Chains A and B, each alone.
Chain A
Amino acid sequence: MDVTMTVNGVESTRDVEARTLLVHHLRENLDLRAANVGCDTSSCGACTVLLDGEAVKSCTVLAAQAAGSEVTTVEGLAAADGTMHPVQAAFRAEHGLQCGFCTPGMVMATVSLLRDNPSPTERQVREGLEGNLCRCTGYHNIVRAALAAAETQKPVSA
């Protein structure tokens, strides 16, 4: 079936099987490899992308379900001139990356979190990132990065 969606501002149409998951569509059909397949059971959040502005786990969404929607991945966050999004910059400055596998999902979840709540407390950051697991268990720097991004990015939106 033909599935059309706008990913990072670019509309594309691909012929996909109905059972194709959004994360596979992004990675294999559109060559956007940032969203990772981690647990594949909607637990770890490594596949998190924005779907019509809301953070979702793209391993539990069919590409067909996203037809007609706007999708944003980490690849779509930086400005056209390469300037990093404030959340990306904060992850770099605070060393929130560690091994990097969870980072794209953490960044997208953080973008969504800060859009809903531009000035979160540390507790609210931890609750907002509840759906993302870091196998380095390096949450401390990730939380610091989210709080730092909140300081620098207001009132910018992604």
Chain B
Amino acid sequence: MIPAGFDYVRAESAEHALALLAEHGDEAKLLAGGHSLLPLMKLRLAVPGVLVDIAHIDELRYIRVEGDEVAIGALTRDRELERSELLQSEVPLLAHVAAQVGDPQVRARGTLGGSLVHGDSASDLPTAVLALGGSLVIQGPAGTRTVAAGDFFQGFFTTAVGEDELLTEIRLPRTGGLGWAYEKFTRRANDWPIVSAAVVDGRVALANSGPTVLRAAATEAALASGASNADAAAVADEGTSPSADMHGGVEYRRHLTRTLVGRALDTASA
């Protein structure tokens, strides 16, 4: 399958990318690694008139400690997250989850920012970033603003990033000393999760349990009030709205959610 025709422009800097977005309006779409966007374009589910390729903006590829946070450039690739010794010690959940994305070839191209902005509720990295808390730095015509991870994922493939804006940085708390876990259930190797659960620092985030990645609020409240892991996991599907598909029904997913959260809590607190 070959995408419908479009114009291709390579952005040289974040400012250049924003200028191109301003110039082309809603015809334009940002292209990072392309591993979410190009498949949609092949299926004509996305038909942008102009692709602004931001993958070569090296100023947005970095992982560094800044105070009690780790700052990650939005164009940092999954492979770089997975291999980063700094992340493995400071935010090990993210390095571990990055290694679960797709397969090695996909991780060579996919970027953290691209995965977050794509906003697929079945994605690994958004689930991890939601569980980690932290914040996301968004650059636009009016300047730079920072959005809490909990406010970033707004709905079905919808995030806080506007059409004329660019996600530039992800800031995560240094959680290296805390227990964490990621439990992912897939139908086959290299697939998206049917359900996954990320746990760190009292926060529990779920993939594929609603229109966007979401927090298991009832579980978090139970943990905060001193409930056992088993009792907290038993309410993990409260507030979720999973869809049935060929991989499983609604009750199957709810059961899977409770099971995976239970395992994740036990691993994180072990």
Contact = CB atoms under 8 A, between A and B. Distances in A.
Interface of A: 1, 17-21, 24, 40-43, 45, 48, 51, 54-57, 60-62, 64-65, 67, 109, 112-113, 128, 130-132
Contacts of B34: 60-62, 65
A40 B5 CA distance: 18
B8 A45 contact: no
Contact of B105 (A17, A55, A65): A55
Contacts of A20: 2
B106 A109 contact: no
A9 to B, nearest CB: 21
A71 to B, nearest CB: 13
Max count, chain A CB within 10 A of own CB: residue among B5, B31, B38: B38
B5 A131 contact: no
Contacts of A55: 104-105, 108
Contacts of A40: 1, 42
B125 interface: no
Contacts of A41: 39, 42
A128 B104 contact: yes
Contacts of B1: 40
Query: What are the 7 closest A-B residue pairs judged by CB atoms, nearest first?
Result: A131-B103, A18-B8, A54-B108, A130-B103, A131-B105, A64-B8, A19-B3
Interface string B82-124: 0000000000000000000011111011000000000000000
Interface residues on B, range: 20 to 34
B39 A60 contact: yes
Interface of B: 1-8, 10, 31, 34-35, 38-39, 42, 51, 53, 55, 79, 102-106, 108-109, 189-190
Given A18-B5, A61-B109, A130 B38 contact: no
B42 A65 contact: no
B2 A24 contact: yes
9 contacts: A42-B35, A42-B102, A54-B79, A57-B105, A60-B35, A62-B34, A64-B10, A65-B55, A130-B189
Given A19-B3, A19-B5, 9 more contacts: A42-B106, A48-B105, A54-B79, A56-B105, A62-B38, A64-B8, A130-B104, A131-B103, A131-B190
Contact of A113 (B4, B104, B190): B104
Contact of A19 (B2, B105, B106): B2
Nearest to B99: A127
A18 B51 contact: yes
Contact of A65 (B2, B7, B53, B103): B53
A55 B104 CA distance: 8
B104 A131 contact: yes
B237 to A, nearest CB: 29
Nearest to B108: A54
Contacts of A67: 10
A54 B102 CA distance: 15
A112 B104 CA distance: 9
B105 A45 contact: yes
Given A45-B103, A55-B104, A56-B108, A19 B39 contact: no
Given A41-B39, A60-B39, A19 B4 contact: yes
A62 B42 CA distance: 12
A61 B34 CA distance: 7
Nearest to B77: A54
A113 B105 CA distance: 10
Nearest to B31: A65
Contacts of B2: 19-21, 24
A19 B1 CA distance: 10
Contacts of B8: 1, 18, 62, 64
Contacts of A48: 105
A55 B42 CA distance: 21
Contact of B190 (A17, A19, A130): A130
Nearest to A45: B105
Contacts of B103: 45, 130-132
